[in-house]
């Protein structure tokens, strides 16, 4: 913060907030200076807001005095999107965590931005409903954070991502203006769709304070299948078959050979020793119809390269399979201190080309690459593993990453399926989006945030001066 501006802004905040909700001590501020990307930057102050009025005050003060403002939930994102790289004020919405109302007949739940995904799911479940986004961090990530990065999760293949499951928002733009987007109905075409614009914008356009979530009826039953294949090419081809038939799996996860070994090490699932790739498939539906769904999915999973197809024999066994899958990211971090995790996505029919191409790049650069993820969306987590103490590996990891990105774009893919851009991919956005389109996006940013205070240095490249 510029010293004079900081002094004035902090004086106003001290007048408006109790001392326990304006954090100035370095130790307390540091806790809000990092996220799951493991990047750290010290904010100059932290506000723990408890009302929309306090959010609006913080935005107004930062706009008036030209101070950076970074809104955050619980900091679970992996791209550095909530790291205050320019200092300034961190605005935490973790205390704005209420579920405000549920209307089961309208399949609607309204909540504050700081409500935990897990709390929303529990409240919805009381009425036989659920909210579709189910990121791995659901137990401790906030709805506002899920919306800011456009979260998805395994069941997005059937039920969609955050953008598909929100009816409307309340937010404070960078101008300090309170806005309301969307409506309370699943149909509505009046005005521009600002709801979908704000979702995935990583807090660069407005601070989301409240959301009206679209709920879905919970399926009566779920069956988990595991399909083991000889190699990744066979598994990738099976994904294309599975997504081309009418019975859409509730989730469709892919693990390559290295990921299979790590999952086995976490929890022995009795996989064949020659398993070169695995699909983990959930089928859901009614008790009366689930057998037909499982039969259709099983038929599509069968084909060249399949070596074992079986259903989980119990709910506990299904939970074991999913626990092994969800343990992969932390297991990889332990395995390789320098882990680069990219959540690229390609059209499902191009998935075999992606997996084949990544394997070739791994061999070319001498970098171990582990792939797993949400195959039904073509959304694969490509994990480049390197030893920070090995200069040869560190010298090639960046060229290898760039080659992975070029490969993805050559397959009509995108550089981020659900993690967002944050700091990590900002430099590569122009690889995917042409200059004219970027210019239009930057004009939208200026309209919402003319002073450029909201989460500066994230998501979009800087506009030309």
| 89-92 and 99-103 beta bridge pairing | unpaired
Answer yes or no: is 452 within a domain: no
pLDDT at 160: 96
In this prediction, residue 2 carries a pLDDT of 61
- Looking at residue 19, what is its pLDDT? 94
Q: Are residues 109 and 208 in the same domain?
A: yes
The tally of domains found in the chain comes to 4
Q: Output the pLDDT for position 317.
A: 83
Mean pLDDT, the chain, as a whole number?
93
Does pLDDT of 216 surpass 90? yes
- What is the token pair recorded at 445? 């940013």
Above 50 in pLDDT, residue 118?
yes
CA dist., res. 230 & res. 28, Å (int): 52
Judged against a pLDDT cut of 90, whether residue 200 lies above it is answered with: yes
Residue 47 belongs to domain spanning: 3-92
Please state the rounded mean pLDDT for residues 97-106: 98
Which CATH number is 119's domain given? 3.30.465.10
Phi-psi region of 203 (alpha: psi -120 to 50; beta: other; left: phi over 0): left
Quick one: pLDDT at residue 1?
Answer: 46
Does residue 455 fall inside a structural domain?
Answer: no
Say if residue 33's pLDDT is above 50: yes
Q: Per the structure block, which two tokens stand in for 203?
A: 């807090």
pLDDT above 90 for 222: yes
pTM across the whole model: 0.93
Exposure of 128 by Cβ count < 10 A (0-12 exposed, 13-18 middle, 19+ buried)?
A: exposed
342 and 432 part of one domain: yes
pLDDT band at 177 (very low <50, low <70, confident <90, very high): very high
Rounded distance, CA 317 to CA 231, Å?
24
- Does residue 121 surpass a pLDDT of 60? yes
pLDDT digits (tens, 9 = 90+) for 160-172: 999 999 999 999 9
Domain-ending residue, one of 264, 297, 326 = 326
Q: What is the pLDDT of residue 332?
A: 76
Higher pLDDT, 372 or 264: 372
pLDDT at 254 over 60: yes
Is 191 a member of any domain? Answer: yes
pLDDT in tens, 314-350: 888 888 778 778 778 777 777 776 778 899 999 999 9
| Inter-residue contact 235 to 227 (CB < 8 Å) | yes
Is 462 part of a structural domain of the chain?
Answer: no
Q: What is the pLDDT of residues 381-439, one digit of tens each?
A: 999 998 888 898 889 999 999 999 999 999 999 999 999 999 999 999 999 999 999 99
Whether residue 346 is found in the same domain as residue 292:
no
357 with 378, same domain? yes
Binning pLDDT at 50, 70 and 90, where does residue 90 land? very high
Last-in-domain residue among 282, 307, 326: 326
Tokens at 58, concatenated = 């913080």
């Amino acid at each position: 913060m510029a010293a004079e501006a900081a002094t004035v802004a902090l004086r106003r905040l001290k007048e408006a907030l109790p001392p326990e909700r304006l954090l100035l001590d370095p130790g307390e501020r540091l806790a809000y200076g990092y996220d799951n990307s493991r990047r750290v930057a010290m904010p100059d102050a932290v506000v723990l807001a408890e009302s929309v009025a306090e959010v609006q005050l913080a935005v107004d003060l930062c706009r008036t005095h030209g101070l950076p403002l970074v809104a955050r939930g619980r900091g679970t994102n992996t791209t550095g999107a909530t790291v205050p790289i320019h200092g300034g004020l961190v605005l935490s919405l973790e205390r704005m965590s209420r579920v405000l109302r549920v209307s089961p007949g309208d399949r609607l739940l309204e909540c504050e931005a700081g409500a935990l995904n897990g709390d929303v799911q529990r409240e919805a479940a009381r009425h036989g409903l659920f909210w579709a986004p189910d990121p791995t961090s659901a137990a401790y990530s906030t709805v506002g954070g899920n919306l800011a990065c456009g979260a998805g999760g395994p069941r997005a293949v059937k039920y969609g991502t955050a953008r598909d499951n929100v009816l409307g928002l309340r937010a404070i733009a960078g101008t300090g203006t309170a806005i309301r987007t969307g409506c309370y109905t699943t149909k509505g075409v009046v005005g521009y769709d600002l709801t979908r614009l704000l979702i995935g914008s990583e807090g660069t356009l407005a601070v989301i304070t409240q959301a009206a979530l679209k709920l879905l009826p919970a399926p009566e039953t779920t069956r988990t299948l595991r399909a083991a294949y000889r190699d990744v090419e066979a598994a990738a081809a099976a994904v294309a078959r599975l997504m081309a038939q009418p019975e859409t799996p509730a989730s469709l996860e892919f693990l390559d050979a290295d990921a299979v070994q790590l999952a086995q090490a976490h929890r022995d699932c009795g996989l064949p020793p020659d398993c070169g790739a695995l699909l983990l498939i959930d089928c859901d539906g009614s008790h009366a119809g689930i057998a037909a769904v499982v039969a259709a999915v099983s038929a599509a999973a069968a084909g060249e390269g399949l070596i074992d197809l079986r259903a989980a024999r119990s709910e506990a066994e299904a939970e074991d399979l999913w626990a092994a899958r969800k343990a992969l990211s932390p297991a990889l971090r332990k395995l390789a201190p320098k882990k680069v995790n990219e959540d690229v996505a390609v059209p499902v029919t191009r998935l075999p080309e992606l997996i084949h191409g990544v394997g070739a790049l791994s061999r070319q650069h001498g970098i171990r690459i582990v792939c797993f993820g949400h195959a039904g969306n073509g959304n694969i987590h490509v994990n480049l593993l390197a030893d920070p103490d090995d200069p040869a590996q560190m010298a090639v990891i960046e060229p290898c990453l760039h080659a992975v990105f070029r490969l993805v774009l050559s397959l009509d893919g995108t550089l981020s399926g659900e993690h967002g851009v944050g700091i990590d991919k900002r430099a590569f956005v122009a690889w995917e989006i042409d200059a004219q389109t970027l210019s239009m996006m930057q004009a939208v940013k200026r309209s919402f945030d003319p002073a450029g205070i909201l989460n500066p240095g994230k998501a979009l490249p800087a506009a030309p001066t």
